[in-house]
Chains A and B, each alone.
Chain A
Amino acid sequence: MRGYGLPVGATAIVAAVIAVVEPGFYRPANLHVVMQQYAVLGLVTIGQVLVLLVSGIDLSVGAVMNAALIVIALMNHYNENLLLLSLVLCILLGAGVGVTNGLLVSLRDVPPFAATLGMTACVQGAILVYTLGIPAGNIPAALRPVALDGIGIVPYSLLICLAIGLIVVAFLSRGTYGRMIYAVGRSPEVARRVGISTTTVRVSAYTLCGIFAALAGIILSAYIGYVDPAIGGTYNLQSIAAAVVGGVSFVGGEGKPAGALIGALFLLALLNVTTLSSLNPFAQLIVQGVVMLVAVSLFHLVKRGSFA
Chain B
Amino acid sequence: MSRDLVRIWSRRSRAGFAGVAAVLLALTACGGSSGSSGGTKTYTIAFISQGTSNSWAAQLDAVARKTAKADGIKLVYFNGQGDATKQLPEIDTAIAQKPDAIVLVPLGGAADTGPVERAMGQNIKVILCDSTITSTNYTSLVTPHAETATVPLAQWLADKMNHQGNLLYIGGLPGNTTTTTYDQGFNSVMQKYPDIHIINAGNANYSISTAKQLAATAIASGRTFAGAWGVGGEAVTGMMQAYVDAGVTSIPPIGGNSATNGTMRLAIQHTIQVASLQFPPTSSQVCIDTAFKAAKGESVPKSINLSDLPQYGPIFPPLDKYYKSQYSDDMYVGTDSVLTFDELKAINLVK
**What residues make up the interface of A, taking CB atoms closer than 8 Å to B?**
24, 27, 29-30, 32-34, 36-37, 62, 77, 124, 128, 131-138, 144, 148, 220, 223-231, 233-234, 236-237, 272, 274-276, 278-282, 284-285
Contact = CB atoms under 8 A, between A and B. Distances in A.
A280 B59 CA distance: 35
Interface stretch (B110-118, B196-204, B282-290): B196-204
25 contacts: A27-B221, A30-B221, A32-B220, A133-B52, A134-B349, A135-B55, A135-B348, A136-B351, A224-B209, A224-B241, A225-B241, A226-B208, A227-B329, A228-B207, A233-B4, A233-B210, A275-B217, A275-B218, A276-B221, A278-B200, A278-B201, A280-B200, A281-B202, A284-B202, A285-B174
A36 B219 CA distance: 14
B216 A36 contact: yes
Contacts of B330: 134-136, 227
Contacts of B220: 27, 29-30, 32-33
A219 to B, nearest CB: 12
Given A226-B241, A278-B200, A281-B203, A27 B222 contact: yes
A30 B246 CA distance: 11
A272 B328 contact: no
Given A220-B209, A272-B217, 5 more contacts: A29-B220, A132-B52, A135-B348, A137-B328, A233-B205
A275 B214 contact: yes
Contacts of B201: 275, 278
Interface residues of B, number: 48
A231 B1 CA distance: 11
Contacts of B10: none
A13 B54 CA distance: 44
A30 B201 CA distance: 14
Interface in B176-209: 199-203, 205, 207-209
Contacts of B328: 134, 136-137
A133 B203 contact: no
A263 B220 CA distance: 23
Contacts of A148: 245
Given A132-B347, A134-B328, A226-B329, A234 B210 contact: yes
Contact of B222 (A29, A77, A131): A29
A302 to B, nearest CB: 30
Interface of B: 1, 3-4, 52-55, 57-59, 171, 174, 199-203, 205, 207-210, 212-214, 216-222, 234, 237-238, 241, 244-246, 262, 266, 328-330, 347-349, 351
Secondary structure at the A interface, as helix, strand, loop or mixed, is helix
Contacts of B246: 29
A75 to B, nearest CB: 15
A217 to B, nearest CB: 11
Q: Which of B59, B216, B241 is the most central at the interface, judged by chain A CB atoms within 10 Å of its CB?
A: B216
B28 to A, nearest CB: 30
A133 B328 CA distance: 13
A279 B212 CA distance: 18
Contact of A281 (B4, B171, B207): B171
Contacts of A132: 52, 58, 347-348
Contacts of B262: 226-227
Contacts, number: 131
Contact of A233 (B53, B209, B212): B209
8 nearest CB pairs, A to B: A133-B58, A228-B208, A133-B52, A29-B220, A30-B220, A134-B348, A134-B55, A33-B220
Contact of B3 (A34, A37, A124, A276): A124
A280 B348 CA distance: 39
B79 to A, nearest CB: 11
Contacts of B203: 281
A227 to B, nearest CB: 6
Contact of A234 (B1, B53, B244): B1
Contacts of A77: 351
Q: Which of B200, B217, B234, B245 is the most central at the interface, judged by chain A CB atoms within 10 Å of its CB?
A: B217
A169 B322 CA distance: 52
A228 B209 contact: yes
Given A27-B222, A135-B330, A226-B241, A128 B52 contact: yes
Q: Which of B58, B219, B246, B329 is the most central at the interface, judged by chain A CB atoms within 10 Å of its CB?
A: B329
A291 B171 CA distance: 22
B329 A138 contact: yes
B209 A133 contact: no
Nearest to B266: A226
Given A24-B222, A134-B58, A231 B348 contact: no
Given A225-B245, A226-B212, A274 B54 contact: no
Q: Which of B210, B330, B348 is the most central at the interface, judged by chain A CB atoms within 10 Å of its CB?
A: B348
Given A133-B52, A233-B207, A281 B174 contact: yes
A37 B347 contact: no
A239 B329 CA distance: 30
Contacts of B244: 225
